[in-house]
Amino acid sequence: MPLEEYKRKRKFDETPEPAGKVEKKSTHRFVVQKHDATRLHYDFRLEMEGVLKSWAVPKGPSLDPGDKRLAMQVEDHPVSYFDFEGNIPEGNYGAGTVMVWDVGTWQPLSPVAVQGKYNPGTDAEAVTMLAKGDLKFRLKGTKLSGDFALIKMKGRRPGSKGTEWLLIKKHDDYAQEGYDIDGYDESVLTHRSLADIAGDAGSREWRSRPAAGRGKLKAAWLADAIARLDKKKAAAAGGKKKSKVK
């Protein structure tokens, strides 16, 4: 069942999150929710096959084609989660503050470019592309617009769960070099900040956390992914320093 994992992780008598159900029709909506849980991240969701296909994006989506954002695929969410905004109580899965950061519609793109451009595709093509790990789509939202791709990464180690993807912005009229997501901290539904939604100063703590002091991450999949990303960046930085010495 598509929502079995979602429901298994939640205690609906304690959390305000909707239980939801698989819808018969999808209306091609997308939502990005800013989620200040154990670690701040963004949840990117596409309405597809009666549910919200979901990815956790630690650094959030970007309009800069040069940014390849790590996106960890998580369990499907119900379509009724689309406008969920509020606080998940301590002791519950994903405890923290949730903001509806962006909403809009999405359109699948044909998997093959014609003269360097991708034309609108079909739902059937989208399902096939998702299964193959190369989903191309066009967003029309308040903050995010233009062509994007979700590319599934190949397993890089034994036992990899195969949940690692890259969220990449395509070059088009909506691309913005040097895009800074931190400049957009307001709900598109209620025009509140995370602090406003949380109702206390605690929601601001993430802003002062140094990069090296991430603290213990409760979500093992996210901790592993971030550790690998940090290791890769450190190796790249070390290589640059050696080349300068030469």
Pairing between β-strand 51-57 and β-strand 40-48 as defined by DSSP bridges: antiparallel
CB contact set of 211 (below 8 Å; sequence gap of 6+): none
Are 132 and 120 contacting, i.e. CB atoms less than 8 angstroms apart?
no
Domain membership of residue 185 as a residue range:
4-245
| Strand ranges in 109-206 using DSSP code E only, listed in sequence order | 134-141, 145-152, 164-169
Q: Cα 178 to chain center, whole Å?
A: 19
Domain count, the chain: 1
| 8 A C-beta contact, residue 179 and residue 86 | no
pLDDT of 233 over the 70 cut: no
Under the banding of pLDDT at 50, 70 and 90, the label for residue 26 is: confident
Under a CB-based contact definition with an 8 Å cutoff, are residues 74 and 91 in contact? no
pLDDT of residue 158: 56
CA 46 to CA 165: how far, in whole Å? 14
Q: Mean pLDDT score of the chain, rounded to an integer?
A: 84
In angstroms, the CA 43 to CA 5 distance is 17
More confident of the two residues 223 and 21:
21
Q: How far is CA 91 from CA 87, 95, 200, in A?
A: 12, 7, 18
Rounded distance between C-alpha atoms, residue 162 and residue 10, angstroms: 23
Closest CA to 144 of 39, 224, 2, 29: 29
Predicted local distance difference test score (pLDDT) of residue 118: 85
Q: For residue 63, what pLDDT is reported?
A: 98
